[in-house]
Amino acid sequence: MAQLRDGSATDTLLLLEHPHVFTMGKAASPDHLLWTDAERSARGVEVVWSDRGGEATYHGPGQLVGYPVLDLARFSLTIPRYIQLLEQALIEYLSELGIDSAAGESGFTGVWSGGEKLAAIGIKLSRSLVSHGFALNVSTDLEFFDGIVPCGHAEKRPTSIEKISNRVINLEAAARGFSTHFAALLGADLFWIPPELLGQDRNQGAELRV
């Protein structure tokens, strides 16, 4: 973030797959954790308290997690417009797969299909710099969402691309599909960084240049 602020780094989109983890945003509370310590330990789920906005969510295998690290001033974007672009890029990618989806189901942030949540969004703002981002359920084991109150709303259930379409989508294909739409909506050029240069096998990255 400091390098982005002083101009020595470029806007970057990190795309990755987490191990099992419940992340707790600024609006989360301990009662959003429904599984006991023992249950979480047995299932290999870590709990991480985060500085992003939002409440509790789950990240894990089969889920595409994206962390755009951007200077919104460079793209002349407000926070509401930026969130709309994230949602729109996800909707456009899902449409490619033949999945009808929409943003803001019942006024909630994220991307939804048939009343169920396909993608969660939670960001952090530091002056004009944003970080954190989105989580798209590709082939996620949805049972892990039972261990939390997802985004503070127990009645709002998650779904996945695999559940809706009965298709198994490779995560790298999902990463590349989403990022193409995201870059186009930003009006940026996309330059891929090989995973080995980021130091972790399941991470990918792309630079976004205007």
Q: Is 166 exposed, middle or buried (0-12, 13-18, 19+ CB in 10 A)?
A: exposed
Q: Is 110 a catalytic residue?
A: no
Give me the catalytic one of 151, 174, 186, 208: 151
How many helices (DSSP H) and strands (DSSP E) are in the chain?
6, 11
Residues 80 and 164 sit within 8 Å (Cβ to Cβ): no
d(CA 87, CA 111): 6
d(CA 118, CA 99): 10
For residue 123, how far is the Cα from the chain centroid?
Answer: 9
Q: Half-sphere exposure of residue 191, counting CA atoms within 13 Å on the CB side?
A: 7
First to last CA, the chain: 18
The residue type of 171 is: L
What are the residue numbers of the active site? 151
